[in-house]
Chains A and B, each alone.
Chain A
Amino acid sequence: MAIQRLFIANRGEIAVRVVKAAKALGIHTIQAHSEADTEMLAVKLADEAICVGPAQSKDSYLNIPAILKAAKATKADAIHPGYGFLSESPAFARAVEEAGLIFVGPSADTIERMGDKVAARQAAEAAGVPVVPGSDGRIDVSEALSVAEKIGYPVMIKAAAGGGGRGIRIAKDEAELKTLAPQAKAEAEAAFGDGGLYIERAILSPRHIEVQILGDGETAVHCYERECSLQRRRQKVWEEAGAMCLDDETRESLCASAVALAKAVNYRGAGTLEYLYDEAANEFYFIEMNTRIQVEHPVTEMVTGVDLVAEMIKVCGGAALSMTQDEIKKTGHAIEVRLCAEDPFLNFMPWPGVVSTLKEPTGDGVRFDHFLSEGYQIPPFYDSLLGKVIVYAETREAAIDKLVEALESMEIGGTKTTAPLHLALASDPEVRKGAFHTQWLEPWLEAGNLSATKGDAA
């Protein structure tokens, strides 16, 4: 049964995106909001809106009983979780299913399975998707050398019982491993009371590549790849489609591997498989799957013409995928930059101001996904993402030029934004060449590249 009344359990720019997509499909939209979000753009655009709790996310956007109660009160037949918040909570998806509503995403079981690192890795291996070569579960010091020999140096040594990066060491050869493995064991014993180790190939300075997939529970397709290697504190700041570092053969096998895994888990909705790409070795390794729409989905929409949000709403309402793999063509190049309410010259200090003026970037091949309006007080209670500037052109070089034009023509008064960071990146020769990786941006910032540019006047 197709969805008729969609409840949007999210906020910010993605809520606007979902409301617009649903309305274009003729669906009645019901926007959830906290007490701090009554003036939010999605509330104004939706057919109706309902308060789900106080400002703090834990009492509103993360409050499962409050959201279900509001969805029932407004007679919703489906809930779109957006990204973040409850979008990857198996407990929430299960509660929605049990309440007899449609969860716009995969089943709770799939979310649970792909959200568990070990289970996801096993599912990937079973589907023939390459994973970072590593030891088969826990090993002891005596096994470390033979395992490392098999998977290849450099290797990363971790405590099998640990997490959060504790006790991680990198050995670049056998001699180093002989010294480091006993240290890692001693530290693991001290920290966790368990000296078991885990070893995997260390991928130094990898690029972050991901593949967009769509599934209807029966079959799945891919919409090609994105590259999101420019990251700060593990947050993506600049994303592209496609990944210029891949040759056609590698791209094809990467995308095929993502479809194989999506099919193996009978995936429904939009999802993304994230990979590390070792450029020197031309090898990619699956790291995790995100079972939801992603912030950077627009770049894929720009190069393929597929409306990912509309498609996920349709397939979760029970429709078959509206396209076959052959019908999905990729042309040109797209770039998205994230505009956050932060001061890039002051260590990215949050800056929740009142939007005094708003001049949107416009033009052919320019898209601005956001939730701003003049006079809007940016709430301090949520993350700092204000919107995304997305540009599309025939070539990557032309797309970067268009990005500069778009950012220079845009005006957001009354608040600081990260636009100066993006202008500085767009004029950097390495970025222009595409010569970067996930460990590139932070040293670039530490070296003072941002304050040395013309954006300094901002």
Chain B
Amino acid sequence: MSDIQSPLPGTFYHKPSPEEPPFKAPGDAVAVGDQIGLIEVMKTFIAVTADIAGTFKSYNVDDATPVTAGAVLAELD
């Protein structure tokens, strides 16, 4: 089991856009480099990617929520 942390402070999003499904759902396979979310920082969107492989367990913060740098955004099994 491992955590994916936020590289920057900002607003975390589960989805590429409000109309689309989340990047990952529970049970999805996650490869190194897979995008799991977006951080909006100072009006710029930065991709959050997995640096280890695993199976997606859950998002740890709600969609469109403020997060600090280092906050756990998601967990893998």
Contact between chains at B8 and A380 (CB < 8 Å): yes
Contact between chains at B43 and A352 (CB < 8 Å): no
Which residue of A has the minimal Cβ distance to B9?
A380
State how many residues of chain A have any CB contact under 8 Å with chain B.
14
Contact between chains at B42 and A380 (CB < 8 Å): yes
Q: Does B55 contact A (CB under 8 A)?
A: no
Shortest beta-carbon distance from A273 to chain B in Å: 26
Pick the residue among A54, A55, A384 that contacts B42 (CB under 8 A). A384
Contact between chains at B43 and A383 (CB < 8 Å): yes
Provide the residues of chain A in CB contact with B64, threshold 8 Å: 56
Q: Does A133 contact B (CB under 8 A)?
A: no
Contact between chains at B42 and A383 (CB < 8 Å): yes
Q: Does B11 contact A (CB under 8 A)?
A: yes
Provide the residues of chain A in CB contact with B42, threshold 8 Å: 341-342, 350, 352, 380-384
11 further interface pairs, Cβ-Cβ under 8 Å (given A350-B44, A381-B42): A55-B11, A55-B66, A56-B64, A349-B44, A350-B41, A381-B11, A381-B66, A382-B42, A382-B43, A383-B43, A384-B42
Contact between chains at A352 and B11 (CB < 8 Å): no
> Chain A at the B interface: mostly helix, strand, loop or mixed?
loop
Pick the residue among A36, A54, A55, A350 that contacts B8 (CB under 8 A). A350
Q: Which residues of chain B from 1 to 24 have a CB within 8 Å of any chain A CB?
A: 8-11
Contact between chains at B41 and A36 (CB < 8 Å): no
**Number of chain B interface residues as a range:** 10 to 19
Complex Cα distance, B44 from A329, in Å, reads 41
Q: Which residues of chain A from 376 to 392 have a CB within 8 Å of any chain B CB?
A: 380-384
Complex Cα distance, B9 from A341, in Å, reads 13
Contact between chains at A384 and B66 (CB < 8 Å): no
Contact between chains at B43 and A56 (CB < 8 Å): no
- 20 pairs, A vs B, C-beta closer than 8 Å: A36-B66, A54-B66, A55-B11, A55-B66, A56-B11, A56-B64, A56-B66, A341-B42, A342-B42, A350-B8, A350-B41, A350-B43, A352-B41, A380-B8, A381-B42, A382-B42, A382-B43, A383-B42, A383-B43, A384-B43
Give per-residue flags for B41-77: 1 if the beta carbon is below 8 A from chain A beta carbons, else 0. 1111000000000000000000010100000000000
